[in-house]
Structure 1
Amino acid sequence: MNDIPLIDISGAKVKGSREEQEVARQLDQACREIGFFTLHGHGIPRSVFEDAFTGLHTFFKRPLADKLPCRLGGGGTLAADPYTPYGYSGLLEENAFAHMGLLGKPSDYVEKFSAGRLILSDETPLPFTDDDPGRDLRRKLKVYYRACEQLAARVTELFTLSLGLPRDYFAVRIDRSNDSMRGHYYPGFSGELANDQGMGEHCDSTLISLLTHTAPGIEVKTRDGKWITPQFREVDHFIVNIGDLMAHWTKNAYVSTPHRVVLHPEPRYSIAFFKLTNEDEMVQFGNKQMDALLQRDRPGVSP
């Protein structure tokens, strides 16, 4: 395997159609075999992506003195939304290896700007710069966040078709989730940096993650331990991956796959949307029909 599957979901517009069933089959196969796929045909206007990346580019290119006030005074979260991180973090301030419980590993060469569901409320104070570029970025990220919410809902609905579950099985379990979104800036690699680690090897703890980017950089670890670089296609093509929550929910039939970011000579921007479950939801297996389907002799199905 040299690339992750490319899946066009435009044929799934009509619910109950053969085309929808075929898209669901392709998604199911990708989730079982590698847990990653590139998705297009989603119907989100390209301008939504271009606007979001333009706003992030403007923010990350500002002087550090302008970005530092975008930190939260009490840490990375807000009391009203205790899970989701918000605001700015700088180069080498975060460590994906530590997220996986691996201490003593290098930190990541990435700047981040994070937001969560509170971005949907225009009245809620959030750590954006108090000027026209800051207000513009907030507006653009709000539009992007809402589009990702809707796409995540549709993708998880398509999962139910192959898993033999009611269409609303995931919908009623993710409609109040504390999702988060992060814009990233990765500098171009040069001899001034200690290594080319944009983000260390890790798995996501999500249900699913939706990623868009402006250049190659993400690498995916296949089952045989080989690192592959998904082909960069367009700014409005999502790289979607299964997280630990969905892997657990499906008894590891859908696989949560290690991935990392390697710096290239050119700088790279990306936006990751992390879809979670409702906080009061117990992540457990669906029903006997689902359990039977998960035991099918397919690649990626754990006994």
Structure 2
Amino acid sequence: MESSTSRTSLNCISLADPDIQRSVALLKQACLDSGFFYVLDHGISQEFMDEVFAESKKFFELPNSEKMKLLRNEKNRGYTPMLDEILDPENQVNGDYKEGYYIGVEVPADDPQSNKPFYGPNQWPSEEVLPKWREVMEQYHREALRVAKSVARIIALALNLDADFFDRPEMLGDSIATLRLLHYEGQVSNPSKGVYGAGAHSDYGLITLLATDDVVGLQICKDRNAQPQVWEYVAPVKGGFIVNLGDMLERWSNSIFRSTLHRVVLDGQERYSVSLFSCVNM
């Protein structure tokens, strides 16, 4: 059983706030409560965010035959078709009603690093089909990773660590950071029948930065063991990120900080999102 009627309220962290201790206090409370919070004033312009979403939409509007040329490879780079992923197999009757595109840190094929899991060259649409697409996505990857590192510094202080703890090469200094472009088709979710835009899951990495359009769909469950489970909508935030913690950070903090179940439940509207999933070097 479950219920899902209300919207949750999340703390807002401004990266422009000169009072770092206020940011630490707000973030720490959010991490103890739900592991979700908003990040504002991050330095990525709205014009560029709009361009990223416009370029993402251009890709997903391509004919299926074009998208399938870039099907996700063994390095987890490229296109994932609708229903290809299933995040909550115990409760889903089909896969997620979303399609995606995965972009990682670019490592040339002849680089020794490319032999490691999660490293290697990305797959890119051709310049003839989508000019500027690679340039825009690589720039956004860099900018979002910069924001992730800024947030990680506040997290470090909230854990009573040195501010630069996560800047080390083995942490986010040389991280596995994956950009995920997602498109949810105009389909109505029905949790009682196992139909979701994205099934319930928690992220396994360190932190995730999520930018969405203005379509409401993300839900979180602060207590996964509650009966019934209570699901609350997270409102989109214009010009900001929704940030959540992953399982890795929950484990490192001895379960003090929360990696919370979340899912996407839609009312029939199309929805686009772009997220940066950050994990430490492995």
TM-score grouping bracket, smaller chain normalisation? 0.7 to 0.9
**1:195–1:134: structure 2 CA closer, same or farther, 3 Å change rule?**
farther
Match of 1:96 among 84, 87, 92: 87
1:217 aligns with 2:248: no
For 1:115, which of 103, 122, 136 is the aligned residue?
103
Contact 1:189 1:196 survives alignment (8 Å): no
- Which structure is richer in relative contact order (CA contacts within 8 A, separation 6 or more)? 2
Mapping 1:121-132, distance limit 5 Å: 126-132=122-128
Q: Distance in 2 between matches of 1:142 and 1:212?
A: 16
**Partner in structure 2 of residue 81 of structure 1:** none
Please say if 1:177 is aligned against 2:175.
yes
CA distance in 2, matches of 1:163, 1:6: 18
| 1:126 CA displacement | 3.4
How far apart are 1:120 and its partner, in Å? 10
CA distance in 1, matches of 2:60, 2:269: 15
Does structure 1 retain, via aligned residues, the 8 Å contact 2:77–2:102?
A: yes
For residue 138 of structure 2, what is the amino acid of its counterpart?
K
Given that 1:48 and 1:143 are in contact with CA atoms closer than 8 Å, whether structure 2 keeps it comes out as no
Question: Aligned AA for 1:210?
Answer: L
Q: Which runs of 4+ in 1 moved over 4 A?
A: 102-105
Residue 118 of structure 1 and its aligned partner are, at CA, apart by 0.9
Preserved contact between residue 207 and residue 275 of structure 1 (Cα < 8 Å)? yes
1:76/1:87 contact within 8 Å kept: no
Residue pairs, 1:269-280, within 5 angstroms: 269-279=272-282
| Structure 1: distance between partners of 2:188 and 2:259 | 31
Q: Deviations over 1:32-77 (max 9, x none)?
A: 11110122121211122111110010110111011111125xx341
When normalised by structure 1's length, the TM-score is 0.79
- Structure-2 change in CA distance of 1:127 and 1:171 (3 Å): same
Contact 1:119 1:138 in 2 (8 A): no
Kept in 2: contact 1:97–1:105 (CA 8 A): no
Correspondence list, 1:127-166, <5 A: 127-166=123-162
Question: Please, which runs of 5 or more residues in structure 1 have no aligned partner?
Answer: 78-84, 280-303
Change (3 A) 1:11 1:89: closer
Higher helix share: 1
Amino acid across the alignment from 2:230:
K
Task: Provide the aligned C-alpha RMSD in A.
Answer: 2.4
Find the aligned partners of 1:184 and 1:272 in 2 and give their Cα distance.
Answer: 8
1:8-157 equivalence runs, <5 A: 8-12=13-17, 14=18, 19-72=19-72, 75-77=73-75, 85-98=76-89, 102=90, 105-118=93-106, 126-157=122-153
Q: In structure 2, how many angstroms separate the alpha carbons of the residues matched to 1:62 and 1:264?
A: 24
In 1, the alpha carbon distance for the partners of 2:91 and 2:144 equals 32
Structure 2, gaps ≥5 residues long? 1-5, 112-119
8 Å contact from structure 2 (residues 182, 274) kept in 1 = yes
Distance in 2 separating the partners of 1:265 and 1:103: 20
Q: Could you tell me how far 1:189 is from its partner in structure 2?
A: 1.6
Q: Is the CA contact (8 Å cut-off) linking 1:39 and 1:238 kept in structure 2?
A: yes
* C-alpha distance in 1 between matches for 2:277 and 2:232: 22
Partner in structure 1 of residue 163 of structure 2? 167
Q: CA deviation at 1:184?
A: 0.4
> So what's the TM-score if we normalise by structure 2?
0.84
Residues 1:110 and 1:246: Cα distance change in structure 2 (over 3 Å):
same
Aligned match for 1:259, one of 257, 262, 276: 262
- Structure 1 range deviating more: 171-180 or 28-37: 171-180
C-alpha contact (below 8 Å) 1:58/1:133 kept by paired residues: no
Deviations 1:143-164 (A, max 9, x none): 1111111111111101122221
* Cα distance, 1:170 vs structure 2: 1.4
CA distance in structure 2 between the partners assigned to 1:110 and 1:175 by the alignment? 31
- Of residues 3, 8, 12, the one that matches 2:8 is 3
Whole-angstrom distance in 1 between the partners of 2:91 and 2:199: 12
Q: Which amino acid aligns with 2:262?
A: H
With over 3 angstroms needed to count, the CA separation of the structure-2 counterparts of 1:171 and 1:125, relative to structure 1, is closer
| Letter aligned with residue 69 of structure 2 | P
